Amino acid sequence: MIIPEDTKQLGYAMEMEENSDNILNEDYLDWTAEDADKKLLNMTPQQLIHLNKAFKIAIRSKDQTIQAKDDIIVTLKEVIAEKENSNKLKDEMILELRQKQSKG
């Protein structure tokens, strides 16, 4: 089976996603909409910078994961199309051979 080159990119994107999840794991993900306003107002500039960086990493890694998956899907569709073509040619050859056998 052909392994798409994009699997390396997918692995990297998934690793980045895992790292961003670790950064965001500091209770940011459990905030409700009501809590967010209060908590954001009480955060220090350093905490806000940290939160902003974490969200940027998370968004970038999600985008890279999506792109890598899209690239893999395109590659797999191409492989499927090639297999279907190959199967069609085989079927045509078998039909041709059977026709020759029935005549001869």
Q: How high is the mean pLDDT of the chain? A: 80
Q: What angle do CA 62, 63, 68 make, to 5 degrees?
A: 100
Res. 33 pLDDT band, cuts 50 70 90:
confident
- pLDDT reported for residue 74: 96
Query: DSSP letters along 41-54, please?
Result: HHS-HHHHHHHHHH
- Whole-angstrom distance, CA of residue 54 vs CA of residue 61: 11
Q: What is the pTM of this model?
A: 0.54
CA dihedral of 16, 18, 19, 24, whole degrees rounded to 10: 120
The better pLDDT of the pair 74, 29 is held by: 74
pLDDT of residue 8: 55
Is residue 13 pLDDT above 60, yes or no?
no
Question: By C-alpha distance, which of 102, 98, 79, 78 is closest to 90?
Answer: 98
Position 1 pLDDT exceeds 50: no
CB 89 within 8 A of CB 20: no
Cα 15 to chain centroid distance, Å, stands at 12
- List, for residues 56-103, the tens digit of each pLDDT value: 888 998 999 999 999 999 999 999 999 999 999 999 999 999 998 988
